[in-house]
Homo-oligomer: A and B are copies of this chain.
Amino acid sequence: MDNIKIEPIQFDNDSLQPRYIQLFQYIKDLIIEGRISTGEKLPAIRNLSNELKVNNVTVVNAYKQLENTGYITAKKGSGFYVSKRPAKDEKNNYFRTEDGKNIINFASASPHPSIFPTESFKECINEVIERDKGYAFSYQESNGFEPLKECISDFLNMEHDIDIKPHNLQIVSGAQQGLDIIGKVLLNSGDYVITETPTYDGALEVFKTRGARCVGVNIKDDGIDLIELEKKIRICKPKILYVMTKFQNPTTVCYSKEKISRLLQLASKYDVFIVEDDSTSEISFKASDRYSLKAMDKDDKVIYIKSFSKILMPGLRVGTLVIPKSLISEFTQSKYTSDISSSSLIQRSVDLFYRKGKWNEHTKYMKEIYKGKYEFMLSKLENLRKYNVDFKEPNGGLYFWVKLPQYINSKTLHEKCLERELLVLPSHVFYPNAHKLKNSFIRLSFAFCSIEEIKTGMEILEDIIKNSRADI
Contact = CB atoms under 8 A, between A and B. Distances in A.
A450 to B, nearest CB: 13
A195 B343 CA distance: 29
A94 B128 CA distance: 9
Per DSSP, are chain A's interface residues mostly helix, strand or loop, or mixed?
A: helix
Interface string A331-358: 0001011111111111010000001000
Residue among A34, A95, A136, A137 with the highest chain B CB neighbour number at 10 A: A137
B126 A122 contact: yes
A131 interface: yes
B97 A29 contact: no
Nearest to A190: B189
Most chain B CB within 10 A, of A112, A135, A165, is at A135
A252 interface: no
Nearest to A145: B94
A33 interface: yes
A123 to B, nearest CB: 10
B337 A317 contact: no
A98 interface: yes
A358 to B, nearest CB: 14
A343 B184 CA distance: 22
Given A93-B146, A122-B126, A131-B94, A339 B138 contact: no
Contacts of A115: 134
Interface in A101-154: 110, 112-116, 118, 121-122, 125-126, 129, 131-141, 146-147, 150-151
Contact of A188 (B189, B317, B334): B189
Interface string A187-207: 011000000000000100110
Interface residues of A, number: 76
Given A97-B141, A138-B313, A342-B317, A209 B184 contact: yes
A78 to B, nearest CB: 28
Interface string A68-108: 00000000000000000000110101111110000000000
B126 A139 contact: no
Contact of A113 (B134, B188, B211): B134
A32 B167 contact: yes
B139 A97 contact: yes
A314 interface: yes
A320 to B, nearest CB: 14
Contact of A339 (B112, B151, B177): B177
Contact of A138 (B89, B97, B147, B202): B97
Contacts of A334: 209
Interface in A342-389: 342-346, 348, 355
A176 B338 contact: yes
Contact of A29 (B140, B167, B348): B167
A276 interface: no
Given A180-B338, A338-B176, A338-B180, A313 B167 contact: no
A432 interface: no
Interface string A29-44: 1001110000000000
Contacts of A34: 165
Contacts of A93: 146-147
B337 A206 contact: yes
A316 B317 CA distance: 13
24 contacts: A32-B165, A34-B165, A88-B147, A88-B151, A94-B132, A94-B135, A113-B138, A114-B133, A114-B134, A116-B133, A118-B133, A134-B313, A136-B315, A139-B315, A140-B315, A176-B336, A176-B338, A176-B339, A189-B189, A211-B211, A315-B344, A315-B345, A316-B343, A343-B343
Interface of A: 29, 32-34, 88-89, 91, 93-98, 110, 112-116, 118, 121-122, 125-126, 129, 131-141, 146-147, 150-151, 165-167, 172-174, 176-177, 180, 184, 188-189, 202, 205-206, 209, 211, 313-317, 334, 336-346, 348, 355
* CB-CB nearest 4 A-B residue pairs: A113-B134, A116-B134, A137-B315, A137-B313
